[in-house]
Amino acid sequence: MKIGIIGAGTMGSGIAQVAATAGCQVMLYDTKQEALDKSKAKLEKILFRLIEKERIDETEKNRIEGNISYVNALKDLAKADLTIEAIVENLDIKRKVFQELESYQREDAIIASNTSSLSIASIAASLKKPERVIGIHFFNPAPLMPLVEIIPAVQTSEEVKNKVVQIITDWKKVGVLAKDTPGFIVNRVARPFYGEALRIYEEGKASFAEIDQAMKELGGFRMGPFELMDFIGNDVNYTVTETVFAAFYYDPRYKPSFTQKRLSEAGYLGRKTGKGYYDYKDGKPVSPSGVEGSISKEKANQILDRILVMLINEAADALFLNIATAKDIDLAMTKGVNYPKGLLAWANEKGIDWCVKKMDALYEEYHEDRYRCSPLMRKMDKNDETFQVS
């Protein structure tokens, strides 16, 4: 199978590696020769490291590298069966690139976007054959992260959807189907992990380090919210939050934080700038207060419960609005962002009644629509039901 990749950045290069490893002939396109050279050199370094770890041998390394050609003309992707775009998150630029690409490709070729939050329907509408367009959203780093969100637009044909599901399976990835709504599954459901942590901090109830400690030590999360935002980059994370907030007609559940906005404006973007919520001068995160996090069990439980129930409520609402199945929502959060448990399975464990009471208590305290309980959970609580996640 011939695969075209548009964009030789980190994501495009990672997808190219995945497809080449699966035995596809890959054509990696970028307008900048420097980006192509850098991608090629980085792949060689990655494969040498895999040889050192005895995960592949020299023959496999040569096979993978031989499956990728590097091109700097979009028309060089003319013979691709599937082309995946992984460029800047700008709708107008994506549409322009897709229109040019369509002029070179045969009618049955599939064109996909790796966008994390833009409308697939809007991208598809720019083409003469919108039914060939679909969203295929990988997670970074693509070769290591198992999850791929597959997002059919309203125009996408059933045949294209089924073909893509099979391709992703053949590439040994975990594919989940998501409705074409802002943030799809992961970037929608994960918003409270950041947003509610920021809200707790802004209310003066806990420090960055205390919140991170609670989520890691009690919740079992690999990284706390502030560590993770520093890792992602405060500029990137804030932009995604702002985009989702606007796309959902300014629903208060997705309201961005002034704390993160100010850090982003100041250039305190996290690890990549050496300063964010933490200071990274020596490589390791140091709390700005100098306190690395010492928190009582009671306070830690309060933090975990508040963030967790908001996450569960968001997952329940995604199911209520048919964004994805219960199984795919839980798969997305465990395989896409390494959550210790699926949120809906976690809700079953805590009890649906516990979730409803916690949400109602938050609403009673704040009287903000941000804390409205999902109608699905309220109904399930009345009928003594649980989420069917298997």
Query: Which one of 39, 137, 196, 313 is the catalytic residue?
Result: 137
Among candidate residues 282, 291, 280, 189, the one with its CA nearest the CA of residue 233? 280
Residues 6+ apart with CB under 8 A from 315: 189, 329, 330, 333, 343, 344, 347
CA distance to 50, 58, 59, 229, 328, per residue, from 55 (Å): 5, 10, 12, 31, 30
Range 140-149 burial, b when 16+ CB lie within 10 A, else e: eebbebebbb
Point out the catalytic residue in the list 13, 119, 187, 374.
187
Q: Which is the catalytic residue, given 116, 234, 313, 374?
A: 116
Which of 190, 214, 213 has its CA nearest to residue 335? 190
Concerning whether 383 is annotated as a catalytic residue, the answer is no
Among this protein's residues, is 116 annotated catalytic? Answer: yes
> Within a 10 A sphere around the Cβ of 66, how many other Cβ atoms?
10
Residue 137 known to be catalytic: yes
First to last CA, the chain: 33
Annotation marks residue 149 as catalytic: yes
Strand order across the 2-6 sheet: 68-71, 25-29, 2-6, 82-85, 110-113, 133-138, 147-152, 174-177
Rounded to 5 degrees, φ, ψ at 346 are -65, -40
**Which of these is catalytic: 149, 196, 210, 227?**
149
Active-site residue numbers? 116, 137, 149, 187
